[in-house]
Every structure is written in structure tokens, then in C-alpha cells.
Chains A and B, each alone.
Chain A
Amino acid sequence: MSDPQKRQVDTRVVVETPEGVDFQFIIAGPGTRFQAWLIDSLLKAGLIILTWLLLALMISLLFPNNSYRDFEDSLGAIQGLLIAAYFVLDWFYGSLFEGLMNGQTPGKKSAGLRVVRSNGTPVDLMSATGRNFLRTADMLPMFYLIGAMSMLFTRRLQRLGDLFFDTMVIDERREWIARRAGLTKDIEPIVRSECPRRFHVPERSLSVIERLFENDRIISDARREEIAKPLSEALRKRLGYQDPPPDPRNPHTYFSGQGLKHTKFLLRILKTFSTDLPAEKEQPRKGRKRSRKADRMTAADVTGAST
């Protein structure tokens, strides 16, 4: 934990609060940011069309006897007002949303992103305005090329606007995945009588198991089984747990269960020994809304524990 910069192997950034506590943020990648940008752009286009329709409606109500001359005049007025509306959307859409809605435009919200200052505090209106003004520079020469280059060379994946105004875009979607509801839902707990030696699993092992079942890891079931095997075997030895022998009347279920037996065993462990913290009751209902900070263990913790 001492030198977060050297440990950096992924897009996590550690921020220390004035109380001396470390947080982890997951920095949003260009793909998610593009997704948010796309939604925002569509929304902006929709808003422009809406303004256009409203203006046209207004004008048609103002000039009921639509002579050609009136029509021509109002066309000019519509054009001007549309340009003004486009200007406001173009320069202030992101600024106002991010500044007033705690760092989230509708697009960012739907993509699970948020703009925060690089010390982790909420973004203020000035910084939000500034980073969105500099979007114009980041867009040059085309397709956000300069912004993409800047993101490539900065640890927090910041484009120029982020660098100048000390902000970063974080990805909030992945918190609580480890404890997502339903992970151990249909698993039957281990009964005391199955473990002749001991009936306790240390917290550290449990967290390693959770880590294994996180959603953002692209792992096939077979590979997970392979990784689960040493841990499962160690735990079996510790608890004195033995697989029940095949049911002589229906041996088929025994053999079909063999394939992922270590994975299944670890899930059962998780189900049985997870202490109920106050958090447990709240998780499934409130999901990611409960908090905006992403916080998880690092890969180093896992490997350190399992070796």
C-alpha cells in the first residue's frame, strides 16, 4: 500500500483523504467514455429537434394567417434561435450537467461514469465548465485524436480538459459485483457434520474466494475451476471435508457434479461462513446506488493470500 504509483498495473487510482484513508477509483476507459459521449450526442440532437418543433409551433401560433412574408420572416427567427440553442447546448450541456448533477451528464449516468476532481472530491461548476470548454481542443484534428493521445500518456486517462482542470472520469459500475445478489442463492450451505476437523474459515480466504467470482474478470468456468482447485483442496484439508460418495442408486448425478466441484465447494464455503455485516442486508436492494466510490481489493492482496 505504500507506493500506489508503483503498484499500478491497471486503471485503478488510489486517493488519500484528509483522514488518512485510502480510496480506490477505477478510471473510465475510452470505450465507456465513448458510449457516454454517444448517448449525450443523441440526446443533444434530440433536444435541438425538440426546440425546433417548439419554435415552429410557437411561430405558427403567433402568425395564424401564414402569409408567405410572415413565413419567411419567422424562418429567419427560427434559424437564429436554433443557432443560439445549439450554441448553448454545445458549450454548456456538459458544464451544467456535470457542475450541477455531481459530475454526471445523462450519458455518463447511463454508462455509470462520473467526473470527479483528481483528489476524489466532487467536481465544481468552474472545473466542469473548463473541462467541457477544452473539449474543442481535444476534438482536434478529428475524432478526439488529441484527447485520445493525452489519455494515452496520463495515468488517470485524462484528456487536455481534464489535465487543465484537475478532473478525472471514474467508472462506478463495478462496485459490489463481488457481493452481487444471487451468487450463493441456490447453493446449499455446508453442515457442521460434514466437517469433522474444524468449522471455521478465516476472513481472508473468504475474500479471496469472492475475488474469484467477480464479474469483471473474463474467466471461463473451466479456468475458474482450475484456479479454485488448490484453494479448495487446502480448505477441504483444513475442515476435514470429504465429498459424499456417489449415490449407488443414481450415480449419474455424482459424475456430472465432478466437473466443477471445486468451484461449487468454494461457493458453499462462501455461503456458510460469510459473516453477516450490516452491509449484507442492504446489498441486493440498493445495488450500486448506495455509494459512488468504487473500492475493492487489489490483485496483490489476492495473490498474497493464496500463495
Chain B
Amino acid sequence: MNRERFIKERRQDWQRFESLALKFQKTRQRNWSGAEVAELSRLYRSICYDLSLVQSREWGARLEQYLNDLVAQGHNCLYRTAPKSLSGIWTFFSIGFPSLLRQRYKAFWLAFALFTVPFIVSTFVAMLRPDLADMVAGEDELKAAVEMYSKDLYEQVDASYVKQRSGMFGFYIGNNTGIAFKAYAAGALAGIGTCFVLLSNGISIGMVQGGILAAGEPATTNFTSFVITHGAFELTAIVIAGAAGFVLAQGIVMPGNRTRIDALRFQGLESLKLALGAGLMLFIAAMIEGYFSPLAISPSFKYIIGTICWIAVILYFTMAGRERTTS
């Protein structure tokens, strides 16, 4: 077969393919008919064959370029990632997320230790040595925090605060989730950044908490009852985001049996799932912190709800998704 005959014979298929591919690129997937998809993939394969024929016989770069472009279009139409469905999101949160965290328990406990130890230590330090707490957390800020929680409960939640709830909700989302995502992303620097974010947040939160607890009665109850419910989600989520950062770092520091580049890709996706899960938890936490925690109701009620939330979170991460793996 010579070049001219080849072009003459194949041209119709090419043009048909071109119009099909154009349609596929412009319209949504649900508008494609089965026959068209079948035709496109048949034409695509035959054009791939044409292209390699042209390449091997050196029938000219112009022809080659044209066919290569057709192949590129077909490649675009045919090779796509499977669309994500809502049920996939549901199975992820009911099964995938908790079991993934259990799988990566080492990263979790590392992040847990790096956050909790400085948190508890600095709480006690602040209670015993208020001068140190002033130095670390900032004297004015600490004083403002203590003052805020020292007010009588019903006075603290005054009218202006109620109107600002949505504002505070937005602030919690932006601030807390931002910190968590930063802790995650900083894991790409071999985990050093994650360590830094976890430690510094553990220390500063602990210092403020210690300072408030040291201030005595109205503040102590107000603070604890305010914090307990959303803390179940917020503190856990920060630790999980840190764990996600360490999973990311594992790709760099300990690639294991994989080549380093494969390890990066594997750990990248795994860690992103953890981080997005943590993000959703922080969204829940921000809702609670904005709308439930400042409610003017009796502290004991908040303690009950808070305890239930803590138990729920712990049960979720220890139990959810287990049945599927054992049976």
C-alpha cells in the first residue's frame, strides 16, 4: 500500500473519528450512546494502528502529527478516572477512614504523643507557674481568655455573642482546619514541619488551658463545659491530621520495599484520605463550637453530651469498619 492510497482509504474513518471525539469532548458522559462509544473505541484502535504504520514507514511527520493528534483526542475521551460517587464517600467514612487510621496506627500514636505530651505538660506548668504561662502564651491574651471564662455563664453568652455565632463558626473553620491542613502538608518536609506544628499547638493550647484552670472556680467550670463537646472532634482531628503528615513523611524517610517515587505516590493518596477525614471532623467541631458549646444551658448537660461525643469518637475509630475485614 502506498501513501496516497492509504490516505484515501483511511480518511473517512479519521474524519468520522474526529467528529465523534469532538462530540465526546463537548457533551457530558450521559449523553453518549453505547453505539457511539463502541464506534469511537473501534476507530481509536484502528487509528493507533495507522499511526504506528505511518511511524514505521516514515510517511511523513505531517501525517504522523495529524494521526498522533487524533490518538491524543481518543486517549482523552477513553481514559478517564472513574467518577466518584456519593456512595463511595459514605463507604469511605463508614469503613475506609477508621480502618485506614487503625492501619496507620504508628503514625497516629506518634502524632498523639507529640501533641498530647506537650499539651498535658504545659497545662500543669501553667497551673504551677503562672509566670511561665504568661511568658509563653502572652500575658494579655491569657488575661483576656481568663476574663472571658470567668464571667457568669449566662452573662458570657450575651446577645451580641449569639449574633456572632456564624462569624465564630467561620473563624473556627478557617483557623482550626487551616492549622490541621498545615500540619498535614508540612509532613512533606520529611515530617519536620508536622512535628513543629503539633508541638507548638500542643504547648500553646496547654498553656492557655492551664492558665484558665489556675484562675479558679467560675472559669474552670465554664471552660471545661465549653470545651468538652467539640474537643472530642477537634483535638482528635488535629492529631489525625498530624498522623496524615507523618504518613506523607514516611514516603520520603522510609520508603520500605517500594522505590522512593512509588512510595511517595502510595503514601500521598493514603495520607490525603486521612487529612480530608480530619477536615470533615473539624467541620463538625466548628459547628458544635459555634452553635452548641456556647449555649446557656447547665454545665452538667454539656458534660453528658461531651462524654457521649468522646465515647462515640473513640468507638468510631476503634470499631467502625471492622466487621467487613473479619468476616
- Tell whether A53 is near chain B: CB-to-CB under 8 Å: no
CB-based contact B61/A207 at 8 Å? yes
**Residues B56-84 near A (CB distance < 8 A):** 58-63, 65-66, 68-69, 71-73, 75-76, 79-81, 84
Inter-chain contact B62/A203, CB cutoff 8 Å? yes
B134 surroundings in chain A (CB, below 8 A)? none
Which residues of A from 137 to 189 have beta carbons under 8 Å from B? 137-138, 140, 146, 160-161, 163-166, 175, 178-179
Main secondary structure of the interface of A (DSSP, over half): helix
Complex CA gap A278/B75 in Å reads 20
B81:A124 contact, CB within 8 angstroms:
yes
**Contacts A21-B52, A21-B71, A129-B272 known; A134 to B188 CB distance under 8 Å?**
yes
CB neighbours (8 Å) of B45 from chain A are 19
Are A137 and B175 CB-contacts (below 8 A) given A164-B251, A297-B61? Answer: no
B119-135 with Cβ < 8 A to chain A: none
Q: How far does the alpha carbon of A76 sit from the alpha carbon of B158 in the complex, in Å?
A: 14
Collect the chain B residues with CB atoms within 8 Å of residue A35's CB.
none
Check: B117 CB closer than 8 A to any chain A CB.
no
Q: Tell whether, in the assembled complex, residue B72 and residue A79 are in contact, meaning their CB atoms are under 8 Å apart.
A: no
**A280 CB to nearest B CB, Å:** 9
Given the known interface contacts A78-B167, A165-B269, A278-B66, the answer about A73 and B60 at a Cβ–Cβ threshold of 8 Å is no
Taking CB atoms, residues of chain A closer than 8 Å to B3 are 203
Q: Would A87 and B174 count as touching, CB distance under 8 A?
A: yes
Least CB separation from B189: chain A residue: A137
Q: What is the size category of the interface that chain A forms with chain B?
A: 35 or more
CB of A112 within 8 Å of the partner chain: no
| A87–B176 alpha-carbon span in the complex (Å) | 10
Q: Of A79, A274, A290, which contacts B62 at CB under 8 A?
A: A274
Query: Is B233 close to A, CB under 8 A?
Result: no
Please tell me if the beta carbons of B68 and A80 are within 8 angstroms of each other in the complex. no
- Contact check, A87 vs B58: say whether CB atoms are below 8 A apart: no
A21 to B48 Cα, complex, angstroms: 7
Q: List 27 A-B contacts (CB under 8 A).
A: A18-B79, A19-B48, A21-B71, A23-B72, A73-B160, A77-B164, A80-B164, A80-B170, A83-B170, A84-B169, A91-B177, A91-B178, A121-B80, A130-B268, A140-B189, A146-B189, A164-B251, A164-B268, A166-B268, A203-B3, A204-B60, A207-B62, A274-B62, A275-B62, A279-B62, A293-B68, A295-B72
